[in-house]
Chains A and B, each alone.
Chain A
Amino acid sequence: QVHLQQSGPGLVNPSQTLSLTCAISGDSVSSNSATWNWIRQSPSRGLEWLGRTYFRSKWNNGYGESVKSRITINSDTSKNQFSLHLNSVTPEDTAVYYCADLDRAWGQGTLVTVSS
């Protein structure tokens, strides 16, 4: 049973970088069958897919169009985790952020507020 545990700050200053980490238990971040996603949820945007990383003989990434120019998702095999980095944030990036394997499990969520 895969379990995802998120960590990271709940408050980010405007123009700075939002960084969150998702620790995986019950599977490997370099599994050849899993994909690891970041999604956010806000009243104005609903559920919005941000991007994913996955390993299929090599690492692959895919990003949503709305954040494509600002987002990086990477993985750390030594810690069995993957991370989200979203730069140049504005108050519109305020949301609950989730990591997920969309076929199996979601993290607990992190409310991130962008404010000075």
Chain B
Amino acid sequence: QSVLTQPPSASGTPGQRVTISCSGSSSNIGRNTVNWYQQLPGTAPKVLIYRNDQRPSGVPDRFSGSKSGTSASLAISGLQSEDEADYYCAAWDDRLNGRWVFGGGTKLTVL
């Protein structure tokens, strides 16, 4: 079981807006920033959002991140077929001498 909790699946139709949630606790999301990663089949994860809401250069502004309390969300607007992938949240956790913790991943299907 992962330290951060994500829904196992999400879906939407092209053009739609979808959100993926990530729930943590006071030792991780409650105190530290959240990153989001996109993993296409058979490839390495790619940084989508870092430090809650920052997009690396090259990531479309259709992707946005937010955080409130011990939860975070990834929103994807104008859904496209190429957005079909696994999405993971991650945060630093201050327990056990500090460690990065991850969500179990959300498989996004574009219908």
> Residues of A at under 8 Å CB distance from B?
1, 37, 39, 46-49, 52, 62, 64-65, 98, 100, 102-109
Contacts and interface: CB of A to CB of B under 8 A. Distances in A.
Contact of B90 (A47, A107, A108): A47
B104 to A, nearest CB: 6
Interface of B: 2, 35, 37, 43-47, 50-51, 56-57, 88, 90, 96-102, 104-105
Nearest to B96: A65
B99 A64 contact: yes
A75 to B, nearest CB: 18
Contacts of A98: 44-45
16 contacts: A1-B57, A37-B100, A39-B100, A47-B2, A47-B45, A47-B90, A49-B100, A52-B100, A62-B98, A62-B99, A65-B96, A98-B44, A103-B51, A104-B56, A106-B45, A106-B47
